[in-house]
Amino acid sequence: MRRTRAALMGAAVSLVSERGTANVPVSDIADAAGVSRQLVYLHFGDRDRLLLEAALDLARGDLAGLGEATAEAGRERALAVARHFAEHRDFYRAVFSSASAFAFTKAVSRVLTPLPRASIEARYGEALPGRLAEDFALFVASGTTALVSAWVAEDGEALDPEVLADRLLAVGRVATAAVGELVRSGPDCG
């Protein structure tokens, strides 16, 4: 069962990347995976769910462990995110513009949330009351996802991960300065 799921997700990533569109027929994905169309529907329900799961599996595979890094590893983490999306640009470009785009964007934001959360906890500790630290981490991750989505959709031949990493870090510095000012202004942060 795992092998079938992996084969289907691999075929989906490969075909969508190759064709540059998420509008790949289920029959083509099933044929490429060496399974029947019925198995696609059994495992995923429909093509859009398969593409969403394949995209999340791909993102989690490379990005899930990045949140465990220290807060000082910001550039390395930003660069790892940029390299991942640049490497799989054709696939992500298609998924970010597909019928699954909203669900995918939301899910990628959840995958990326541990990255800013580690930095926020290291920098502010308990200074952010209630859910503010978690909300800020989700806000930063969602903004990162939006920036990545726009970046992979840009016209041009090659993406430069160094440039995106610099952009992400610059936005992060602005957000950090704003939160720092809130923390200095009082115990309830505003």
* Nearest residue to 85 (alpha-carbon basis) of 147, 15, 28: 147
- Any idea which residue has 């513009």 for tokens? 97
Is the pLDDT assigned to residue 69 strictly greater than 80?
no
User: How far is the C-alpha of 164 from the C-alpha of 77, rounded, in Å?
Assistant: 12
The CA distance from 118 to 107, in Å, is 19
36: DSSP letter: -
Residue given tokens 């640009």 in the structure block: 89
DSSP run (H or E) holding 157: none
Q: Rounded to an integer, what distance in angstroms lies between the CA atom of residue 44 and that of residue 49? A: 6
Res 13 pLDDT > 80: yes
Across 71-81, average pLDDT = 79
* pTM exceeds 0.75 for this model: yes
Distance of CA 58 to the CA centre of its chain: 9
More confident residue, 155 or 39: 39
Which of 7, 5, 28, 144 has its CA nearest to residue 82? 144
Is residue 68 very low, low, confident or very high in pLDDT (cuts 50, 70, 90)? low
Question: What pLDDT is recorded for position 37?
Answer: 94
Report angle CA 83, 88, 90 to the nearest 5 degrees: 130
Buried b (16+ CB within 10 A) or exposed e, 26-52: beebbebbebeeebbeebbeebbebbb
- Between 186 and 52, the more confident residue is 52
